[in-house]
Amino acid sequence: VPLITACAETGKNCSMKPLMLQGHTRAITQIKYNREGDLLFSCAKDTKPCVWYSINGERLGTYNGHNGAVWAVDIDWQTTKVLTAAADNSARLWDCETGKQLFQWDTNNAVRACGFSFSGDTIMFCTDRQMGYNPSLDIYDIRAGEQMANNAPLLSIPIEGPKVTAAVWGGLDEYIITGHESGEFSQWDVKSGERVRNIKGHNKQINDIQLNKDRTMFVSASKDTNAMLFDADSLDHLKTYKTERPVNSAAISPRMDHVVLGGGQEAMQVTTTSTRIGKFDARFFHLVFEEEFGRVKGHFGPINSVAFHPDGKSYSSGGEDGYVRTHYFDQQYFEFELEN
Q: What is the mean pLDDT of each run of 10 residues along the chain (340 residues)?
A: 41 70 95 97 96 96 96 96 97 96 94 95 93 90 86 92 94 94 96 95 96 96 96 96 95 96 76 59 95 91 96 96 95 84
- Give the integer Cα–Cα distance in Å for 147 and 272: 51
> What is residue 11's predicted lDDT score, i.e. its pLDDT?
45
Q: End-to-end alpha-carbon separation of the chain, Å?
A: 33
Counting DSSP H helices and E strands in the chain, the numbers are 2, 30
> What is residue 272's predicted lDDT score, i.e. its pLDDT?
53
> What is residue 251's predicted lDDT score, i.e. its pLDDT?
98
Mention every residue, 6+ apart, whose C-beta is less than 8 A from residue 113.
71, 72, 85, 125, 126, 164, 165, 166, 167, 178
> What is residue 3's predicted lDDT score, i.e. its pLDDT?
41
Question: Which one, of 207, 201, 231, 193, lies nearest residue 72 by Cα?
Answer: 207
Question: Which one, of 333, 327, 317, lies nearest residue 3 by Cα?
Answer: 327
> What is residue 4's predicted lDDT score, i.e. its pLDDT?
43
> What is residue 129's predicted lDDT score, i.e. its pLDDT?
86
DSSP string for 174-236? SEEEEEETTSEEEEEETTT--EEEEEE--SS-EEEEEE-TTSSEEEEEETTSEEEEEETTT--
> What is residue 148's predicted lDDT score, i.e. its pLDDT?
81
- Give the integer Cα–Cα distance in Å for 170 and 177: 6
- Give the integer Cα–Cα distance in Å for 227 and 219: 7
> What is residue 15's predicted lDDT score, i.e. its pLDDT?
64
Q: What is the CA radius of gyration of the chain?
A: 19
